[in-house]
Amino acid sequence: MGSRAGGMNMDDIEANKRIVRERHEATQRLCLGGEDHRQHMAGGERHFLAGSMPAHAATGVEWLKAWHSQTVSPTFHGLGPMIAEGDHVVEEWETCIHGADGALYNNQYCWIQRIEGGRVVEVREYEDSHHVWTLLGRDPEWPALEPLTARRESNLEGVEITAELTLDPALLRDPVPRPGALTADGEGPDANRAFIRSLHDAQATGDGDLVDAHYGDGFRHFLAGERPFGWDHLPLTQLYAPLVEHLASPLTLRFGPMVAEGDRVFEEMESFAELDDGTVYDNWHCFVHELRDGQIVETREYLDTHHVWVTLGRWAPWAADPVPPLRRARRSNLPEVVATFQHRNPFLDLERWGGALV
């Protein structure tokens, strides 16, 4: 039997990581013209995309074709380290695709995948959705989305809600780290999970000083996306000022179960509020927290960025200048790159692929 951590069999955890890794290897073999291993790539799993997509995306993949058909490269993926616990595997990665029009698709992702019976049966995907609209939605131009007027399907549908709280709008700000002020009680996944729960307890009470005490020296907060997001994002008070100004109800946060391994903790969250013009703010988030010396030193957050633009951009000074299509790669979202692979572009016909897939 394998060793155990947090009550879990490490052999099972490593086996689940291998299942995910084998899917990547299968796409690489297919891209290089080897045996068709598409059965590894598409297991019929339930796939939830936590991002605002155009209405015609529900009819298939043709909505991707306009830009992708003129690309000049396969899809290149850089993978970060996995986080695995129980039957879940979490991955972060970045993707680059070069277009003949000079634009670059360079998105940043985080997936949580559930393993059952030796295969992936469920995926919840987070990405910079505004980047998709900015690049792929140009020609022909996608119909603009209207702000939501009712709650949408939750990213936590069917998932246990482990915490629910009302957030004081004053806490929509960047934390002020307090090195050593409060530390996790012990080391390892269980202690780190408890520390994140303690953070939520502090948020629920509205105690800003206690919230700050969870963050250590040099804390960095990454928001997947480009301006006003990214590593050098706008101060959160500016980013969320329109939300605070137009709140017509409490801002509620709901959290799903955590996945923890080593010094990393993953969690998902839904944020919801009614606004004073009859619309709603209903965003999907996930976080990867990095802990060192018992405090949070880095948080990488993935959210529906296009929903922020559609809902809050109506009132925000930061939305005055639209984000142009990328022309060069942006700063990576990954703490380190542990693997790279290619994915076949179904709209691009390269001779070495022996013809396009569709």
* Per-residue pLDDT tens listing for the chain (358 residues): 233 444 446 678 999 999 999 988 888 777 655 444 344 444 557 999 999 998 887 776 777 888 888 888 888 999 999 999 999 999 999 999 999 999 999 999 999 999 999 999 999 999 999 999 999 998 888 999 999 999 999 999 999 999 999 999 999 999 999 999 999 999 999 999 999 999 999 999 999 999 999 999 999 999 999 999 999 999 999 999 999 999 999 999 999 999 999 999 999 999 999 999 999 999 999 999 999 999 999 999 999 999 999 999 999 999 999 999 999 999 999 999 999 998 877 676 655 555 444 3
Q: What's residue 57's pLDDT? A: 79
Annotate the chain with three-state secondary structure.
Answer: CCCEECCEEHHHHHHHHHHHHHHHHHHHHHHCCCCCCHHHHCCCCEEEECCCCCHHHHHCCHHHHHHHCCECCCEEEEECCCEEECCEEEEEEEEEEEECCCCEEEEEEEEEEEEECCEEEEEEEEEEHHHHHHHHCECCECCCCCCCCCCCCCCCCCCCCCEEEEECHHHCCCCCCCCCCCCCCCCCHHHHHHHHHHHHHHHHHCCHHHHHCCEEEEEEEEECCCCCCECCCCCHHHHCHHHHHCECCCEEEEECCCEEECCEEEEEEEEEEEECCCCEEEEEEEEEEEEECCEEEEEEEEEEHHHHHHHHCCCCHHHCCCCCCCCCCCCCCCCCCCEEEEECCCCCCCHHHCCCCC
User: What is residue 31's predicted lDDT score, i.e. its pLDDT?
Assistant: 66
> What per-residue confidence (pLDDT) applies to 357?
42
Per residue in 274-319, pLDDT (tens digit) is 999 999 999 999 999 999 999 999 999 999 999 999 999 999 999 9
Q: What is the pLDDT of residue 44?
A: 59
**What would the pLDDT profile of 194-211 be if each residue is shown by its tens digit?**
999 999 999 999 999 999
What pLDDT is attached to residue 211?
98
Q: What pLDDT is attached to residue 4?
A: 41
- Read off the pTM: 0.92
